[in-house]
């Protein structure tokens, strides 16, 4: 029988001093693998000097390179920060810092499901900047970007922490307002409309906004795309009927807020003096 030569496990002494100091490795790499191979979130550290060129090439896509004097915890901390930054770029607009369209589509689905589960309405606002293309064409995109940054930086402070402001396109924006009625959604839309005009005036730009607002009714059972299309039509109506305005469905007053005929009769007699009282006043004056 042919004798198989056993290779001794690689010694921990070949691991950089900074690595050993950071995580306190003791014993061999083989021991480390055997005790931690089933635990998620663990790292296997292998000294590059002990690897053949083929092994290095095979492990390169999964490896992190460290020098002998580098601290592994500092390195992993930097990687984690970079990873969080990349994730944020995935859902935020780089220029304005608002959420992007990818996030909007995902969050709208969440809010519709929440609304149908709880029975609470929410509001969706679409905002389109009037004459913004003219600013880019005549004054340049840098000037246009400056306007967007200033407008968005200030408007982010004017919404609730639970609201979601998104850059839907180049000069189009969307607001998702959870647990908000159409009446309250209109107040938010009016604040944005006024603020956009103020920023434009400060920068001497001919920019205003056309806005469409609607409330999602939990009983309507609309799909996300259908609700988006409905609000988009309101925005389109604002653009086509003169711009710089807010268009929304008619607000229906709850039945409990209506005045009954009996209440109207009582109010009438309170505020309308009778004829007999009028004659008494005239007699007294005479």
CB contact at 8 A, 248 and 237: no
Q: Could you identify the residue written with the tokens 């920019």?
A: 207
> Is 145 an annotated catalytic residue?
no
Question: Is 46 exposed, middle or buried (CB count within 10 Å of its CB: 0-12, 13-18, 19+)?
Answer: middle
CA atoms within 13 A on the CB side of 157: 5
| R_g over Cα of the chain | 33
Q: Could you identify the residue written with the tokens 């390169």?
A: 60
Residues 6+ apart with CB under 8 A from 121: 115, 179, 180, 181, 182, 215, 216, 217, 218
In the set 93, 128, 130, 171, the catalytic residue is 171
Q: Which residues are catalytic?
A: 171
């Amino acid at each position: 029988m042919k004798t198989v030569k056993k290779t001794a496990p690689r010694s921990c002494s070949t691991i950089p001093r900074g690595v050993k100091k950071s995580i306190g490795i003791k014993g061999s790499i083989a021991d480390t693998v055997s005790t931690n191979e089933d635990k998620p979130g663990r790292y296997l550290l292998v000294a590059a000097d002990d690897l053949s060129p083929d092994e290095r090439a095979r492990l390169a896509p999964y490896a992190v390179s460290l020098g002998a004097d580098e601290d592994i915890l500092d390195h992993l901390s930097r990687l984690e920060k970079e990873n969080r930054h990349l994730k944020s770029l995935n859902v935020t607009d780089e220029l304005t810092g608002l959420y992007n369209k990818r996030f909007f589509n995902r969050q709208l689905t969440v809010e519709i499901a929440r609304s149908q589960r709880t029975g609470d309405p929410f509001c969706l606002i679409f905002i389109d900047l009037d004459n913004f293309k003219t600013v880019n064409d005549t004054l340049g995109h840098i000037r246009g970007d400056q306007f967007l940054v200033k407008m968005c930086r200030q408007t982010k402070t004017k919404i609730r922490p639970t609201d979601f402001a998104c850059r839907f396109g180049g000069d189009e924006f969307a607001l998702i307002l959870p647990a908000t009625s159409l009446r309250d959604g209109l107040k938010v839309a009016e604040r944005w409309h006024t603020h956009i005009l103020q920023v434009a005036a400060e920068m001497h730009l001919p920019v205003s906004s056309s806005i469409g607002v609607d409330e999602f009714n939990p009983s309507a059972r609309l799909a996300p795309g259908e609700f988006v299309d409905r609000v988009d039509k309101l925005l389109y109506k604002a653009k086509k009927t003169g711009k710089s305005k807010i268009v929304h469905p008619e607000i229906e007053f709850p039945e409990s807020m209506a005045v009954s005929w009996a209440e109207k009769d009582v109010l009438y007699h309170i505020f309308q003096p009778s004829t007999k009282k009028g004659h008494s006043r005239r007699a007294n004056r005479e």
